[in-house]
Structure 1
Amino acid sequence: MAGELSGDLLGAGLMRELAHRHPGIRFEGIGGPAMRGEGLEGLYPLEILSVMGLVEVIRHLPRLVGVRRALLRRWRADPPDVFIGIDAPDFNLGLERRLREHGVHTVHYVSPTVWAWRQGRVRGIARSVDRMLTLLPFEAAFYEARGVPVSFVGHPAADRFDLVPDVGGYRETVGMSGNDRILTVLPGSRAGEVARLGPAFAGAVAVLLARHPGLRVLAPMATPALAEYFRGMLAERGVETAVTLLEGCSAEAMGAADVVLTASGTATLEAMLLKRPMVVAYAVAPATAWLVRRLGLLHTPYFALPNLLAGEGLVPELIQEAVTPDALAAAVEELLEDQDRAATIRARFTALHEALRQDADRRAAEAVEAVVG
Structure 2
Amino acid sequence: MSLRVGMVAGEPSGDLLAARIIRGISRHDTQSLCQGIGGPAMAKQGFEAWKPMDALTVFGYVDALKRMPNLLSTYFNVKKRWLSDKPDVFVGIDAPDFNLRLELQLKQAGVPTVHFVGPSIWAWRYERINKIRQAVSHMLVLFPFEVEIYQKEGVPVTYVGHPLAEIIPMQPDKTAARRYLGVDPNARVLALMPGSRASEIKLLGPRFLQAAQILLKQDPDLQVLVPMVNPARRKEFQVLLDQYPIPSCRIIEQTGEQSPLVTPAPLQTGSFQGQAQENAAASIDFKERPAAWNVMEAADAVLVASGTATLEAALFKRPMVISYVLSPMMKRMMEWKSGQARPYVPWVGLPNVLARDFVVPELLQDDATPQALAEASWKALTDASYARQVSERFTQIHESLWRNTPELAAQAIVQQAR
Interval containing the TM-score (normalised by the shorter chain)? over 0.9
TM-score, structure 1 length as denominator?
0.95
1:51: which partner in 2? 58
1:143: which partner in 2? 150
Instruction: Report the Cα distance in structure 1 between the residues aligned to 2:232 and 2:217, rounded to whole angstroms.
Output: 28
Alignment CA distance shift 1:52-1:123 (3 Å):
farther
For the 8 Å contact 1:53–1:285, the answer to whether it is kept is no
2:391: which partner in 1? 346
Is the aligned partner of 1:160 residue 2:167?
yes
Instruction: Report the Cα distance in structure 1 between the residues aligned to 2:97 and 2:217, rounded to whole angstroms.
Output: 44
Q: Give per-residue Cα distances to partners, 1:85-131, cap 9 Å, x unaligned.
A: 11111111111111111111111100111111100000000111111
For the 8 Å contact 2:222–2:248, the answer to whether it is kept is no
1:243: which partner in 2? 249
Q: Give per-residue Cα distances to partners, 1:299-358, cap 9 Å, x unaligned.
A: 111110100110000111122333332222221112122221111000111111111111
Instruction: Report the Cα distance in structure 2 between the residues aligned to 1:326 and 1:29, rounded to whole angstroms.
Output: 48
How far has the Cα of 1:21 moved from its partner? 1.7
Instruction: Report the Cα distance in structure 1 between the residues aligned to 2:24 and 2:187, rounded to whole angstroms.
Output: 41
1:261: which partner in 2? 303
Which secondary structure state, in structure 2, belongs to the residue aligned with residue 137 of structure 1? coil
Alignment CA distance shift 1:126-1:14 (3 Å):
same
TM-score, structure 2 length as denominator?
0.85
Aligned residues with identical type, % of pairs: 42
Instruction: Report the Cα distance in structure 1 between the residues aligned to 2:229 and 2:292, rounded to whole angstroms.
Output: 8
For the 8 Å contact 2:59–2:197, the answer to whether it is kept is no
Task: Give, as a single letter, the amino acid of the residue that structure 2 aligns with 1:314.
Answer: V
Q: Which stretch shows the higher mean deviation, 278-287 or 336-345?
A: 278-287
For the 8 Å contact 2:103–2:135, the answer to whether it is kept is yes
For the 8 Å contact 1:132–1:149, the answer to whether it is kept is yes
Instruction: Report the Cα distance in structure 2 between the residues aligned to 1:80 and 1:319, rounded to whole angstroms.
Output: 44
Alignment of 1:200-219 (within 5 A): 200-219=207-226
How far has the Cα of 1:165 moved from its partner? 1.2
Instruction: Report the Cα distance in structure 2 between the residues aligned to 1:173 and 1:40, rounded to whole angstroms.
Output: 33
1:318: which partner in 2? 363
Alignment of 1:274-293 (within 5 A): 274-293=316-335
For the 8 Å contact 1:254–1:274, the answer to whether it is kept is yes
For the 8 Å contact 1:186–1:220, the answer to whether it is kept is yes
Instruction: Report the Cα distance in structure 1 between the residues aligned to 2:157 and 2:59, rounded to whole angstroms.
Output: 25
Instruction: Report the Cα distance in structure 1 between the residues aligned to 2:99 and 2:41, rounded to whole angstroms.
Output: 19
Which secondary structure state, in structure 2, belongs to the residue aligned with residue 27 of structure 1? strand
Task: Give, as a single letter, the amino acid of the residue that structure 2 aligns with 1:299.
Answer: Y
Instruction: Report the Cα distance in structure 2 between the residues aligned to 1:266 and 1:127, rounded to whole angstroms.
Output: 28
For the 8 Å contact 2:43–2:49, the answer to whether it is kept is yes
2:277: which partner in 1? none
Q: Give per-residue Cα distances to partners, 1:181-204, cap 9 Å, x unaligned.
A: 000111112223222322222222
Task: Give, as a single letter, the amino acid of the residue that structure 1 aligns with 2:364.
Answer: I
> Structure 2: which 5+ runs fail to align?
1-7, 255-290
How far has the Cα of 1:242 moved from its partner? 2.4
1:65: which partner in 2? 72
Alignment CA distance shift 1:58-1:300 (3 Å):
farther
> Structure 1: which 5+ runs fail to align?
none
How far has the Cα of 1:57 moved from its partner? 3.1
Which secondary structure state, in structure 1, belongs to the residue aligned with residue 86 of structure 2? coil
How far has the Cα of 1:179 moved from its partner? 0.6
Is the aligned partner of 1:227 residue 2:234?
yes
For the 8 Å contact 1:185–1:262, the answer to whether it is kept is yes
* Number of equivalenced pairs: 372
For the 8 Å contact 2:193–2:226, the answer to whether it is kept is yes
For the 8 Å contact 1:55–1:285, the answer to whether it is kept is no
